[in-house]
Amino acid sequence: MGLGKMSGKYSVFLKDGNLIDVVSGRIYKASILILDGMIAQVSTNRTEICVDSVLRTIDLQGKWVLPGLIDMHVHIKEAFAPLFVAAGVTSVRNTGGNVVELRKLREASNAAPTPRVFSADRLIDGPPGLWGETSPWNVIIDDPDQARAEVKRQIEAGADFIKVYGWLSKEIMLTVVQEAKKYNKEVSCDLIYSTEMNALDAANIGIKWNEHASGIIQAIHPNWNMKAGEQIWNEINWKDPDVNRIRDVCSQLIEYGVIMCPTMILFDQPYRFPNFWNPVNIVTKKTNENRALIHQWESIAQYADALKRTGIQSPVNKLIAKTYFDLGGTVVAGTDTPAGIWTLPGMALHRELELFVEAGFSEMDAIRAATNIAAKSLNRTDLGVIKEGAIADVCILNSNPVEDIRNTKDIDLVIKGGKVYSQEEVLQFVPSEEYVKKALEEFISDFNQNATSFNR
C-alpha cells in the first residue's frame, strides 16, 4: 500500500468521514484532500474538491477522523519507534536520551513509519546521580561552568530543549536555565526524587515544563520526599488530598506559565499492580516480542515496596492535573514510555487519555491534550489539527472516541505525513534484535571515542 503521483504530487482523498474538529469541539461529516504530505483541503461538500486525478480514494463512511496523536513525554528508542505510529501516535516529545543516538529517527521523512521526534539530550542531574554515573544518557554536574558547557554542547548537538533532574542543586538549575535562555531554549524538570527543590522553586527560576506534576507534593508537604521515613508518608492523606492546598500551588504555577505533563499512567500502573492495564491487540502483541522491554518491566515489578510508594501518589497526581486544567493551566498528555511498568509504546497514550477522563476531563479535552494543545505547546501550528496547511498526520478510527475515550484504540488506518498505513504495515518496520544490538554497539563505540567532548 503506498501513494502514487498526480502531476508530481502524492495524493489521497478521504471521503465522507466523521471529522472530530479538536479546535471547535464539533464533529461533522467532511472530506479531506491530501497532497504531498500536507492537508490541501477540508470540505463539508466533497463536490468542491477536484478528485478526478487523485491516486487513491478512501471511503470513510462510518469512520471517525482524528489528528495524529502526540505523546508529550517518552524516552524513545529505534527498537520500538514504529509501535507508536501503529498506535496512532505520529509525534513524540523525547524528554531525555541522546540526540546523536536518535539521529535516524529525527532525520526521517515526514512519511516515515516512525514518529516525529522533538528531543532533549541527556539528562542533567546532580551528584551522585539518580541513574548512576555520567553516561551517554545522563550527566552529573555540580559546577556552574560545567553546566554552561553542557548546555552549549547539547544545543550544538541539536537538542530542542534541556531536561534537568531533581538532584541538581538550585544554583546549577538556575545556571542551566540562564544558559538555555541564551539559545532561546526551554527547560523541563523532573522533581519526583528531589529533596531540596519543589515545583514552585523550579518555576521561580524559569523552568517552563513540569514533568509528572512533580515537586507539587513537596511544595504542599515540605517534610516529604521519596526518601522520607514511613511516619512522614503516613501523615499525608493520599486518597483524599487537600484540594485547597493543591489549588494554591497550581495557581502560582499558572502565573509562571508552567506547562504540566502529569504522566498519570506512570503512577496508575503501580497503583493497580498486579492488576495493571495491559490490553491485548495487534500492537501489544508485537510489543511482547521485545524481550528487552518485557525483561525491564518484569524486573521492576519485583520491587513491590518501591511500586507501592509510586502508586500511592496516583490519586493526588490525577487531582493536580484536573485542578491545574480547571484553573486555566496548560496540561498535555504524556506517558514516560517505557519507564515504570508496562508503559506500552504508543498504546500507553491511549491509557493516559482514559486516565484524563477518569480524572474528570471531558473526552474532547483529553483528546486535545494529545493533539492541538500538545502541538501548540511545542509551537507547532502544523501538527495536532486537521486543517488546510497542516501536516497530514491522521488517525482513522472505527468508533467514536468522544462517546467513549476507549475508542481511540479502535484504529482502522494511520496516515503519517500523507502516507497511508495499516497497523500491520507499520509493524513490519519494527527492527530486528540483531539490528538494534549492532546500532547500540556502534553508538556506544562512537560515544566512547568522543567522550572528552561529551564530558568536558
**In the predicted model, what is the mean pLDDT of the chain?**
94
Cell (9 digits) for 417: 505525513
pLDDT, residue 448, reads 84
Residue 45's pLDDT band (cuts 50, 70, 90): confident
Question: What pLDDT digit, counting tens, does each position of 297-331 carry?
Answer: 999 999 999 999 999 999 999 999 999 999 999 99
- Provide the pLDDT for residue 228: 96
Confidence band (pLDDT; 50, 70, 90) for 450? confident
CATH class of 5-66+385-421: mainly beta
Is-cis flag, bond preceding 241, omega within 30?
Answer: no
Give the Cα separation of 295 and 373 in Å (integer): 34
- pLDDT confidence of residue 51: 59
Give pLDDT, residue 50.
61
Report how far Cα 300 is from the mean position of its chain's Cα atoms. Answer: 21
pLDDT score, position 449: 77
pLDDT grade for 46, boundaries at 50, 70 and 90: low
Average pLDDT over residues 129-133: 92
Given 3-state DSSP classes, what are the helix, strand and coil percentages for the chain, each rounded to the nearest 5? 40, 20, 40
When pLDDT is cut at 50, 70 and 90, the band that residue 7 belongs to is very low
Residue with cell 484504529: 411
Residue 455 has pLDDT above 90, yes or no: no
Kindly state the percentage of the chain with pLDDT values over 70: 95
pLDDT category at 196 given cuts 50, 70, 90 is very high
Mean pLDDT along residues 293-298: 97
Mean pLDDT of 234-248: 96
Inform me whether the pLDDT recorded for 3 exceeds 60: no
Its CATH architecture, for the domain 69-377, is: Alpha-Beta Barrel (3.20)
**What is the domain partition of the chain in residue ranges?**
5-66+385-421, 69-377
β-pair partners for 89: 69
Cα(393)–Cα(420) distance, rounded to whole angstroms? 9
Distances (CA, A) of 150 to 158, 163, 186, 234, 455: 12, 12, 15, 40, 8
* Confidence bin at 447 (pLDDT 50/70/90): confident
* pLDDT over 60 at 409, yes or no: yes
Q: How confident is the model at residue 47 (pLDDT cuts 50, 70, 90)?
A: low
pLDDT of the residue at 18: 98
pTM score? 0.96
Q: 206 pLDDT band (50/70/90 cuts)?
A: very high
Summarize the confidence of residues 212-221 as an average pLDDT: 98
